[in-house]
Amino acid sequence: MITYGSKKQLEELKKEAEKIRLSKGNIIGDTIVSDIFNNAEKLAHKVVRQGSYSVNWTTKTDNILTSKILGYPIMLLLLSTVFWITITGANMPSEIIATVLFGFQDVLTRWFIMIDAPNWLHGVLVLGLYRALAWVVSVMLPPMAIFFPLFTLLEDLGYLPRVAFNLDHLFRKANACGKQSLTMCMGFGCNAAGVVSCRIIDSPREKLIAILTNNFVPCNGRFPTLIAIGTIFGAGAVSQGYQSLAIAGIITILILLGVGTTFLVSWVLSRTILRGETSSMVLELPPYRRPKIGSVIYRSIIDRTIFVLRRAILVAAPAGAITWMLGNIFIVDLSLIGHVAHFLHPIAHSIGLDGFILMAFILGLPANEIILPILIMSYISSGHMLEFDNLVDLRNLLVDNGWTWLTAVNTMLFSLLHWPCATSLLTILKETGSKKWTIMAFIIPTTIAFTLCFIVTQIAHFLFI
């Protein structure tokens, strides 16, 4: 057995080193760092030749993208262009996927009839499980498979650090870190991933602020829901040609509202429970690089498709089956869902929703993707409509169940601001290692969502009714 000296010997060694270190005026560490760099510098001078190089694209691009006048407008324009492309591009594939998948539902139904399967089995498996799956895939997949490649392109181009550079000043006013904007960008994909990415923030206080507010960026599971509801209720107001522009506008406003909430909450947190001064920030601005467009798009489409399909199978499908059962088990003359919705109705009504919507949000805790399918299924099980395969049908279903533009606005607001999904909460628990902060991460958005929806509803009632 080989042993390398005792702990005591190591302590002595440490003391000796400490003595030498302090005898030199405690600058030996700095000298070591400088010496390493001096070696690197000498070596680099020996082997690197810089030819004459007139056009510096990075400088030229930065002159525009981070300029005083154009910096912010371009950022906004890029953001809304990404949304516009996503919304316009997603329409058609969404419809095609819906047609195919819901067409197959009829085939499935025929098979079930052929083998003389009991009604409840057909209900659970086809009307519940399969339909939820089909909905999630057709509504979620196309926007995400368009949004993410675009976003990844911006990332690959090197634009995202510039967003942090542009916005740092604002974040600092909220005593937070500019790098929080990068974690928010990650949040578009998945808030759990956004929370994990907060590791890039050095100061523990600012990291915690970024973790607690990441939820105000709509993730993969909420973003398409916002688009769908925005499309149904927002675009009807303008003429055909400008519809997707109008929706892009609505979505941009919603995102800005989320960003605004992030600033506000960060500001309040850093003046109350997370009081403290802004710490330093060192941000590298790498040169712009031409992305390999083909492979970036290919990779991120594949990546998103797998992500959405996985979530659809793991979460949406079982949730669909369970919801169907809850909607078809009757106690007295009301289904279980009906009872719950009835119970929630008064509180939901005060914030401009109805009992079914609030219940869908509650049942959607495991994953935001399933909120819309649960809602649709609960409406269907309580009503009589069965045919259902596109956004027009969805509009009719919602209107039949008493939706107005106010319901739509509140649903979108609630979706944007409400509690994080279970996965995000677990991630927050893991990253912060604290139950207290995890609970705060639940309470803060929930309070904001309820309060804002309440105010909007009451003002609307006061003005219009």
Query: In the window 55-94, what residues touch another protein (CB under 8 A)?
Result: 58-59, 62-63, 66-68, 71-72
Q: Which residue has the tokens 């550079």?
A: 165
Measured N-to-C along each axis, helices 131-157 and 371-382 cross at an angle, to the nearest 10 degrees, of 160
Query: In the window 11-30, what residues touch another protein (CB under 8 A)?
Result: 12-14, 16-18, 20-21, 24, 26, 28-30
What's the CA angle centered on 376, arms 371 and 382, to 5 degrees? 125
Query: In the window 132-171, what residues touch another protein (CB under 8 A)?
Result: 165-166, 168-170
Q: How far is the CB of 27 from another protein (least distance, A)?
A: 9
Q: Which of 91, 119, 286, 322 binds another protein (CB under 8 A)?
A: 286
Whether 351 contacts 454, CB under 8 Å: yes
Q: How far is the CB of 197 from another protein (least distance, A)?
A: 11
Q: What is the distance between the alpha carbons of residues 133 and 104, in angstroms, rounded to a whole number?
A: 12
Q: Which of 60, 110, 271, 289 binds another protein (CB under 8 A)?
A: 289
Q: Which two tokens stand for residue 279?
A: 């710490």
Q: Which of 241, 272, 280, 435 binds another protein (CB under 8 A)?
A: 280
Chain-centre distance for alpha carbon 292: 25
Which residues, 6+ apart, have CB-to-CB distance to 396 below 8 Å? 385
2 forms part of the interface with another protein (CB under 8 A): yes
Stretch that binds another protein, among 33-41, 208-216, 220-228, 316-324 (CB under 8 A): 33-41
Q: How far is the CB of 209 from another protein (least distance, A)?
A: 17
Q: Which of 178, 230, 249, 364 binds another protein (CB under 8 A)?
A: 178
Measured N-to-C along each axis, helices 317-328 and 131-157 cross at an angle, to the nearest 10 degrees, of 150
Q: How far is the CB of 31 from another protein (least distance, A)?
A: 5
Which residues, 6+ apart, have CB-to-CB distance to 162 below 8 Å? 62, 65, 66, 285
* Residue 57, helix vs strand vs coil: helix
354 forms part of the interface with another protein (CB under 8 A): no
Q: DSSP letter for 14, please.
A: H
Any bridge partners for residue 330, and if so which? 335
Whether 227 contacts 87, CB under 8 Å: yes
260 forms part of the interface with another protein (CB under 8 A): no
Q: How far is the CB of 287 from another protein (least distance, A)?
A: 7
Whether 402 contacts 441, CB under 8 Å: no
Task: Give whichever of 158 and 327 is closer to another protein, judged by the CB atom.
Answer: 158
435 forms part of the interface with another protein (CB under 8 A): no
Q: Which of 85, 108, 154, 283 binds another protein (CB under 8 A)?
A: 283
31 forms part of the interface with another protein (CB under 8 A): yes
189 forms part of the interface with another protein (CB under 8 A): no
Task: Give whichever of 283 and 336 is closer to another protein, judged by the CB atom.
Answer: 283
Which residues, 6+ apart, have CB-to-CB distance to 203 below 8 Å? 177, 279, 280
Stretch that binds another protein, among 143-151, 277-285, 361-369, 449-457 (CB under 8 A): 277-285
At residue 330, what are phi and psi to the nearest 5 degrees?
-105, 135
Q: Which residue has the tokens 């001096």?
A: 38
202 forms part of the interface with another protein (CB under 8 A): yes
Q: How far is the CB of 152 from another protein (least distance, A)?
A: 13
Q: How far is the CB of 193 from another protein (least distance, A)?
A: 11
Q: Which two tokens stand for residue 34?
A: 């400088």
Stretch that binds another protein, among 37-45, 123-131, 338-346, 393-401 (CB under 8 A): 37-45
What sign for the dihedral angle of Cα 356, 361, 363, 368? positive
Stretch that binds another protein, among 120-128, 283-291, 390-398, 445-453 (CB under 8 A): 283-291
Which candidate, 193, 181, 166, 169, places its Cα nearest to that of 303? 193
8 forms part of the interface with another protein (CB under 8 A): no
Q: Which of 271, 310, 342, 430 binds another protein (CB under 8 A)?
A: 430
What is the rounded (10 degree) CA torsion for 413, 414, 415, 416? Answer: 50
Q: Which of 275, 292, 310, 349 binds another protein (CB under 8 A)?
A: 292
10 forms part of the interface with another protein (CB under 8 A): yes
At residue 26, what are phi and psi to the nearest 5 degrees?
55, 30
Q: Which two tokens stand for residue 12?
A: 């002595």
46 forms part of the interface with another protein (CB under 8 A): yes
- Cβ atoms within 10 Å, residue 74: 17
Number of residues that bind another protein (CB under 8 A): 74
Chain-centre distance for alpha carbon 114: 43
Query: In the window 364-423, what residues touch another protein (CB under 8 A)?
Result: none
49 forms part of the interface with another protein (CB under 8 A): yes
Task: Give whichever of 160 and 391 is closer to another protein, judged by the CB atom.
Answer: 160
